[in-house]
Amino acid sequence: MKKAVYYAVETPLGEMRIHVHDGRPVLVTLPDRNQEAEEGSASAPIPAAVSRLRQALEAYFQGKDVPCVYIDGLVDSICRTPFEGAVLKEVARIPRGEVRSYSEIAELAGYPRAARAVGNVMHDNPFPIVIPCHRVIRKDGSIGGFGGAEGQKAWLLDYESRG
């Protein structure tokens, strides 16, 4: 069995990590102030799938969004249920600088009574930034959670609003 490794991506938020198993990305982690260098940090050669994901993250921080075509393939490779896939694809369609509520995403995904379940999918989103779960907020307009990092969610929303 191969050891899981990660590739670091420097961002304005700090070091994000693309975790890889058997040559394919399985998780992107946001910067963590308590994050320490771990064994498993990888170096070249970078697998093509990791390179595409790294480019997507870098493009985001250059003011661009990730094409939905790329996201659709990524979502299809990770979703365990049709519900998860529908939710993540709807979230991916939220334009930069805009937000949607959990209930709006549930409605758009075809599950109008599943706002709480949308929240669970957002919490478990393995590819934050690329699938912009930070753009999903509460119906009352408050930002809600973001894997315990509400400050990062607020920063990302502010960053996007600046153009």
In this structure, are residues 37 and 28 in contact, taking their beta carbons and an 8 Å threshold? no
- Decide if 122 contacts 116 (C-beta within 8 A): no
Q: Is 68 a catalytic residue?
A: no
Q: What is the DSSP letter of 149?
A: -
Q: Which long-range contacts (CB under 8 A, 24 or more apart) does 49-53 make?
A: 49/23, 49/24, 49/25, 50/7, 50/18, 50/20, 50/23, 50/24, 50/25, 53/18, 53/25, 53/28, 53/127, 53/130
Catalytic residue (choose from 9, 133, 136, 156): 133
User: Other CB atoms closer than 10 Å to residue 73's CB: what's the count?
Assistant: 12
SS3 (DSSP) at 14: strand
Please identify every residue annotated as catalytic.
133
